[in-house]
Structure 1
Amino acid sequence: MNVESAYLNCLAFFGVGGAHPGGMQLTKSILSREKIVGTTKILDVGCGTGQTAAYISKKYGCHVTAFDCHTVMIEKAKKRFRSLQLPVVTCYGIAENLPFEDGSFDMILSESVTAFTDVSQSIPEFKRVLKPNGILLAIEMTLENSVTEAELAQILHCYGVKQLLNEAGWRAHFQKAGFKQVLSENFKLHPDAQNMCHALDFSLSKNIDPSYFHILHQHQCLSMMYKDILGCRIFRCQ
Structure 2
Amino acid sequence: MEQTYVDCLAYFGVGGAHPGGLQLTKKILSKEAIDKTKFILDAGCGTGQTAAYIAKHYGCQVTSLDYNELMVEKAMQRFQRLNLPIKVIQGRTEHLPFENASFDIVLSESVIAFTNIFLTIAEFKRVLHQNGLLIAVEMVQEKSLSKDELEEITRFYGVPRLLREHEWHNVFRHAGFKQIHVELCDLQFDENDVNNVPDFSISEKMNDTLFEILKEHQRLTKKYKEKLGYRIFRCFV
TM bin, normalised by shorter chain, reads over 0.9
Amino acid aligned to 1:36: I
1:143 paired to 2:141:
yes
Structure 1 residue ranges without an equivalent (≥5): none
Residue 5 of structure 1 contacts residue 160 of structure 1 at CA under 8 Å; is this kept in 2? no
The CA deviation string for residues 100-119 of structure 1, in whole angstroms up to 9 with x for no partner, is 00000000000000110101
Alpha-carbon distance, 1:179 to partner: 0.3
Count, aligned residues: 230
Correspondence list, 1:205-224, <5 A: 205-224=203-222
Matched residue, 1:100: 98
TM-score between the two structures when normalised by the length of structure 2: 0.94
Superposition CA RMSD, Å? 1.7
Structure 2 residue ranges without an equivalent (≥5): none
| Distance in 1 separating the partners of 2:197 and 2:70 | 19
Amino acid aligned to 1:60: Y
- Equivalent position to 1:79, from 74, 77, 80: 77
| Distance in 2 separating the partners of 1:110 and 1:71 | 18
Q: What secondary structure sits across from 1:187 in the alignment?
A: coil
Correspondence list, 1:171-186, <5 A: 171-186=169-184
Alpha-carbon distance, 1:29 to partner: 0.2
Q: What secondary structure sits across from 1:171 in the alignment?
A: helix
Matched residue, 1:60: 58
| Distance in 2 separating the partners of 1:119 and 1:165 | 10
Q: Which stretch has the larger CA shift, 10-19 or 179-188? A: 179-188
| Distance in 2 separating the partners of 1:44 and 1:22 | 16
- Equivalent position to 1:167, from 165, 168, 176: 165
Alpha-carbon distance, 1:25 to partner: 0.3
1:128 paired to 2:116:
no
| Distance in 1 separating the partners of 2:3 and 2:136 | 21
Amino acid aligned to 1:7: Y
| Distance in 1 separating the partners of 2:13 and 2:97 | 24
Alpha-carbon distance, 1:51 to partner: 0.3
State, as a whole percentage, how many aligned pairs show the same letter: 54
